[in-house]
């Protein structure tokens, strides 16, 4: 997965930081925030910029997995999140862990 390593370190993340974590552009992050208001509820700072919590980032990662990796429509992803969010959570985590292991094995192989 193209995700940048994500650890909960901050109270709020900017739209640019979320886009970097997902490996996508900010316009897609903004679009998904509008399409999934029941899962992503950005706060706004004094300038009006969107600020996302760690839970929002986790939900973005789930949406990204369902839409970009699994090829689901936005409606299908929304239905899947409503019906089985915990199952999707575990699957995304497993895929991410396995991708990390694969990258480490490639590094070891290249160094031999």
Q: Taking all residues of the chain, what is their mean pLDDT, rounded to a whole number?
A: 84
Cβ neighbours, 10 Å, residue 9: 7
Least confident of 11-25, 51-65, 98-112: 98-112
Question: Any idea of the CA torsion for 23, 26, 30, 35, to the nearest 10 degrees?
Answer: -40
Question: For the chain, where are the E strands, in sequence order?
Answer: 13-14, 43-44, 50-52
Mean pLDDT of 62-89: 83
Map out the domains of the chain as residue ranges: 13-111
| Residue 30 pLDDT exceeds 90 | yes
What's the pLDDT at 22?
92
What's the pLDDT at 89?
57
Do strands 50-52 and 13-14 pair parallel, antiparallel, or not at all (unpaired)?
antiparallel
Q: May I ask the CATH architecture of the domain 13-111?
A: Orthogonal Bundle (1.10)
What's the pLDDT at 88?
56
């Amino acid at each position: 997965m193209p995700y940048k390593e994500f650890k909960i370190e901050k109270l709020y993340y900017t739209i640019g930081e979320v886009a970097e974590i997902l490996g996508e552009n900010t316009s897609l992050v903004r679009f998904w925030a509008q399409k999934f208001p029941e899962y992503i509820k950005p706060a706004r700072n004094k300038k009006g910029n969107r600020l996302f919590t760690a839970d929002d980032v986790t939900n973005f990662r789930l949406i990204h997995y369902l839409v970009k990796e699994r090829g689901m429509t936005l409606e299908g992803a929304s239905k899947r999140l409503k019906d089985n969010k915990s199952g999707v959570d575990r699957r995304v985590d497993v895929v991410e862990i396995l991708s990390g292991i694969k990258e480490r094995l490639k590094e070891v192989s290249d160094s031999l």
